[in-house]
Structure formats: C-alpha cells, structure tokens
Amino acid sequence: MAYATVADLADYMQADPPDNAQFLLERASEIVARLTMLALYDVDDEGAPIDAVNITAFKRATCAQAYFMKDATGPVAGTSAQRDVASASVGGVAVSYRDSVSSTVDVGLGGSLVGQVSPHTISILRVAGLIRTNPLRW
C-alpha cells in the first residue's frame, strides 16, 4: 500500500513523474512505514492513517522519499544501471560509489538507514510528530 499516488508525486515534483514512479512510491512507503513504526496515530482497517494531518504528512514524506530515490540505481530504485565504484574493500565488504550521497538517519529502531532516507522525509515526519525524539508521557 503506497501512501501517495503517481499524481501526488507529479504534483510534489511539479514535473512529469519518472517511468518507475509507482515502484518508487511503494519502496518509499515501506521506508516511511519503517520510520513511523513506533508512532501512535489512528488507523483504518487496513492500517492507513485516518487523521487529515497524518494523511498529509505520510503523503508528503512518501513523495519526498520517492523524489530522493528517483535518481538512485539498483534494487531500491527498480533499475539495474551501472554505477562508478570509487573504492572497495574485501575484508569488511564495503563499496562506495562516486555518486553516493552520505547521510545517516538513526531513528532508534535498532539500526540506521544509511544513505537511504531523505532528510526532508525525516523533517516532515518529525514536524508531524510521527518520529519522536523524546519519551511519550501518559
């Protein structure tokens, strides 16, 4: 279940969506779902948010994430284009690419999503209160 449509992505980008837009939106929705795994919000029978503010935040975060991923290559983007390797290591199995963007997002879920999450996606979800950085008081 994607949190946004191809039309939403086109509106967000203010341009024609890429050919793999639906695929990007589905992958972006999976990342947004992971980022909001511990968030508390009302949902419908299918697990989708029902509050208008949360619906908008999920839609915008998904579009921001899909836009971030649109020029990526490999399985996350649904492409198999070649990338230029800048460096490689055998023992620890590390590869870096010339076009890679370095960003680390630690959301407290037992690891980080290194280079996979748009800072704008995180910002949208934090402002909406869907990613918390402090304990929730009851």
* pLDDT tens-digit map of 31-57: 999 999 889 899 999 888 999 999 999
Question: What is the C-alpha to C-alpha distance for residues 79 and 1, in angstroms, rounded to an integer?
Answer: 21
**For residues 77 and 64, is the Cβ–Cβ distance under 8 A?**
no
Range of the domain at 60: 6-73+83-127
**For residues 6 and 18, is the Cβ–Cβ distance under 8 A?**
no
The tens digit of pLDDT for each residue in 87-106 reads: 655 444 555 555 544 444 44
* 44 within domain boundaries: yes
* 134 within domain boundaries: no
Burial class (CB in 10 A: 0-12, 13-18, 19+), 46: exposed
* 136 within domain boundaries: no
pLDDT of 73 strictly over 70: no
* 16 within domain boundaries: yes
What pTM was estimated for this model as a whole?
Answer: 0.71
Contact residues for 32 (Cβ-Cβ < 8 A; gap 6+): 3, 58, 61, 62, 65, 121, 125
* 93 within domain boundaries: yes
What does DSSP assign to residue 114? T
* 46 within domain boundaries: yes
Q: How many domains does the chain have?
A: 1
* 106 within domain boundaries: yes
